Each structure stands twice: as structure tokens, then as C-alpha cells.
Chains A and B, each alone.
Chain A
């Protein structure tokens, strides 16, 4: 699967930092490396950058801990489930999750553009982003030792 993503700071507009208090997410891999922002499913505040209707915004990543919510308590949506209509009652809309790197089982792998996701709304009409997944390719499975992988945009791993 993909438990976290990283996006280059340069890809995010300054107003997003102010609006969503993203400063604490800024990190670097050292040396001359460009600053990045990490978004992990284990973070205290679970968020994802999302391109929705052409706008880059920050949404809550899935539903990690709200037992009261009707939303699935996960951060990922299986493509097979989506295509089988199991999410239809939530009226999911397709989104893009922009990213430069993904993280799974301690392996940071390169992402060219981003990955596919869906957005659904909770009872208060707040948007929640779920990462779409598919069965992992042989390469991805060897690399990350996980049997599922994100659906990358114009990229094969």
C-alpha cells in the first residue's frame, strides 16, 4: 500500500501553509535537498494534498478514528470495491493526490506526478480523501513487500 507521501514544498502555494498550518510538516533529506512536506497516515492530524476540480487543497485523509462517522474507517479505497459499486452510496468523486515520493514499509519510492484517489463527504459535508489501491505489481511487491499499491498517474512501478 502506501502509508505516507511526500510532496516538494515548491509545489504548494503559500496560502495553503497559512490555511492548514502546514509549516510543521516541512522536512528535508539533508544536504542540498529541496524541502518537502510529509503526510503520514500515522500523523496526529491526518491530511493529504489533493487536486479536486482543478484546485490544490488539503483534505482529511480517510477516516482514521471517528467511530461516529458513517465513513469507512480506513485511508484507502480498493479499486475493485469502487468498481463493484461498494462506495456508490457515498457518491465518490475522483481526485488526484499529488506526490513526489511514497512511503511503504520504510521504503521511500519515487512518484512522478501523483496517484489517484476519491473524495467522499461525511455527515457535516466535510471532504475526506481516500487513496485508491490495486494489486501490487511484482516490482512494487518486491520493493515494498506489500501486496497492494497506489494507482500512479502515467507511471508504472
Chain B
């Protein structure tokens, strides 16, 4: 018989000795796949994505036309240094360590406002991943407008306490500099700005090309952010044997995506949460945290679309004293308020908080990246899921023949997914956008479509969801959760574009058919003329006249499209 294991002999006290707090950093360290760092290849992508998201958010919030430089430099067999530089407003020195080395620290989580970042995890997680895989620190350089110099700070994250450790903090003479040809600067001269931020992380990573690559992410970034100038440089280590000094790198990329529009997207407004999107637990928390002194004013001031009168009506219907202190309500009373809110008809949340890309700008982005004969775009009116305003935009391009070897009638269409102007590359199958896309009957619009799959054809489809809160399926922000309201809106936008596409496709088919008929007619008309010429012994000029007259006649009735 086996000896009894010690675990059986545990007491509440012995167990209590091992029970302790788990810091968020520790949690994510063990669950790095939740943040998108599950493979070296994906880690590189996620790091770039988080840094670029932050740069864009910062620029836009500060009203600066963004210019961003992404550099990937291979430092070892499977190590890369990722450096992302922007011309944003810069970051105040004291905030730098917390922003880059503390998880769940940020400006975006607590308010309902459309932005790329949401939780305040991304960039710190990238730094933490770098620290974990290479032991190195995150290096930040930042310069704010009007300051004489830039700060250069190296930080690491204390994963136990989820708190930054500052390794060095120096003043440096640094200005963000971007390659020439960036649209604003003179051709040939590098462009410098008096403000900006650069973050640099060394990490275990693998660089690949193709569909799920940094290349693709940045390309899509440029499509969906037509106001962005983006520079991209990859320097790969050359093979060990040719490691002589001064030689050109074995493999490198230097690429610039120039801005297509010189207008910043309109600034997104911050809104109060809509009562219909709030759950019971959140309502409890909000009533506890409110600065208002009565339930009535808490409801009226902390939520959108509740007036003083409506707040009073809710309190009366829920049999709660409107003048009661909000933090003194019992759980039963809060639940009554919650239920009453759900039954109360309220105006939909304001939608001016959304900053869609815009139909013109979507076209500009697509035109910049894809050579097509036909472009169209639809920006739907804003609507609401679970109290959160959102807006769907779809762009579509029918590629020119041979413009891209992957775009043809045998391959599925290329679907680009975006949420708040961020490209989504992974987990397409789990995403509402894919679901809506495969649910549309594309045969009706002239595209072949295997059952339950993406349609086939040389078509690029971009779908953008703008929302104050995009419901991602996980923290790595790869897929939009399946809310029926969202799928419905995407479907309607796709169908609208589909209808326009089908008009174009059938026009193309008619033109191709006319061309084919023209060839056929022109093949036989000379024979007809030869026959007549031989029978009637006509001179050659008569034959030419017959041919000309016949062509005119047949083209008039058969080839007019």
C-alpha cells in the first residue's frame, strides 16, 4: 500500500502559509500567450504593434500628424532589437517608468474613448517579455516640446510587485529623426522633430515574411491610417562565415509608406458609459466610487443619456430613495435599480465619440497599397452594442490582373481586419469580421464562394470597427467577439460594397464579352467579303468597303456595352 502523501495532512493553517497574492505581472509572465507573446515570431509582431499603437494614439491625441519609424535589428541568432520612434508629444520624465514598466498602467482603461490601446498592458508586456528572454532593459528616449534635451531611461519591471526598476536615467541630446521623402520635409534631407519618443526593446524573436509578419502589419497599418508616414527598416545579421567588418548587411529592408491624406482624424470624444451596457457588478462599483451625494445625481451625472428626471423615475420605479447616499445602498436595492434601468427606454449613447476613417480616406489608403481598377468604401452610421457605440467601415478593391500573384480567381479574397485603426492579423477564424464575411452570399455579387468559406477572386476587402470599447476575444487583441449587432452591421456594409462590386464585375464581364465578340466578328467578316468578291469578281477596294460596312453594322448592334 502506498504511503499517504503529505498533502492529505494539510491543515487550513498550513495551506494559508502558502497562499499569497499573485501580481498581474507574474500572472501574465506565466500566461504570455494571452498577450500575444506565445512564439518568438509572434512576439516580434506584438511588440511592434503595441509600440506603434501607442505612438499613433499619442500623436493623434496631441493633434500631431504622425510619423513613425520601425527598426528591427538582428542582434543574435534569434534575437532582435525592436526600436519604434515617433514624433509624438513626448512623455513627461516621471511617467516614463510607469508607462513602460508597469502592467495595467495607462490613460485609456478608465475612460470610454476610441483609441488603439485599451488596457495599459501592451508595451509593458513587450518590455517584460524582452527582459524575460534576454535579461535586457527597455530603453526609452523622449523629448517634449520646448525642453532643452531628451531623457534616456532604462527600466525593467519588478514582476513580483508590478513596479518599474530604473536602471539609468540620463539627459541626452536626441531628436527624433526620420528618413527623407517623408512627405513634409525636403526631398533628400532627413526630417527631424523637436519632440517625440523612441522605445527600444531587445527580445528573443524570429523574423519572417508573409501573411503573419511585421511587414504585413505595417503595410496594413498604412492602409488604415492614411494620415501616417511610416518608415520601416530591417537589418538581418549576415551568415556567420561572411562576418567581415564593413560589409553590407546580408539582408535588409528599407521601406517608407508615405501619408496619403494630410488631415488628422477628428479627435474622439470621451463619453460616460451607457446604462444599458453596464453590468450589475460594475453598477455597484460605480455607485461606490461616485462623487455624487445622492443616487439620483449619481445616475444622472455618471451615465450618459440619464437626465435628472429619468434618474428620479428610475429611483421611484425601483422603490429606492432618490436622496439616499449612493454608497449606502444595499445589494437588493442596487439590483432593483439595475433591473429598472434595463426596462427603461433610454436614448442610444452619443456617437460623436467615434472617429471613423471615412470613405474618402479608406479609398486613399487602399489606392496607395493595391493596384486595382475598382475601389469602393462604405462607412455605416454609428450604432450600439451593449451600450457601447461602434461604427463599421468597409473598403473593397478589385485588383488589376497580374498586379499581385496571390490575388486571382482561384484564391480566397484578401480580407484585412481592423479595430480602431489597428490591423488584426491573428485568429481570423474566431473574428466577427470573418464570420460576417463568410455569411454573405457572394455569389449574388458575382464572386465564386465555396460553402461556408471566404469568396474567391482578386479582391481586397478591408473591414474596420471603430468603437469606444472593441470587444476582443483576448488581451492579445486579435479577434472581435461575436456580438450579433456587430456581425449585422458588418454584413450590411459588406453587402453594400458587394452590390457596387457586382455592378463593376458585370460591367467587366460585358466588356470582356464584347471584346470576345469583336474578335469573333472580325475573324469572319474578311471571309464573307472574300466570298462575295470571288463570286462577283469585285476589285479589292470593294472588298475593303464590304468589310468596313459590316464591321460598323455588327459593332453597332452587338458590341455596345
A in complex with B = no
Which residues of B are interface residues toward A (Cβ below 8 A)?
none
